[in-house]
Amino acid sequence: MNNMLLVFLGGGIGSVLRYFISKIFNSYFQNFFLGTFLVNIIGCLLIGIVLGISFKNNLLSQNHTLLLTTGFCGGFTTFSTFAFESHSIIKSGDFLFFTLYTLLSFAIGLLAIALGLWLTKL
């Protein structure tokens, strides 16, 4: 029960923060959801840092790791939103933005996780 509460709390905080970031940044470009893109990249970096710290020297308890990764990062990142917005871009016929949005999200997301893990090795 304690684990579910941690995930619930972290997910709620992450979801609210995602909402605000998307609200602010998604209106900058037509057909490129900058807020969702930023949230996914920041979430990848954060999960890399948290797991790196957790794996490296056990500075975080299992509860802290659960709260921050499954809870916060799970609520904060938006893959289902990303998929829906990608579908919307395809429907609009803007294949250049679709390609750019998709490739940048995956490539920079993977790099952000690697950076987070690398930063915790310093």
Query: Per the annotation, where are the binding residues for Na(+)?
Result: 74, 77
Q: What is the DSSP string of 83-106?
A: HHHHHHHHHHT-HHHHHHHHHHHH
Which residue positions form the known binding site? 74, 77
Residue 68 CB: number of other CB atoms within 10 A?
A: 23
Q: Which helix (H) or strand (E) holds 36?
A: helix 34-57
- Compute the distance between CA of residue 27 and CA of residue 13 in angstroms, rounded to an integer: 22
Cβ-proximal residues to 18 (8 Å cutoff; 6+ apart), any chain: 39, 75, 76, 77, 78
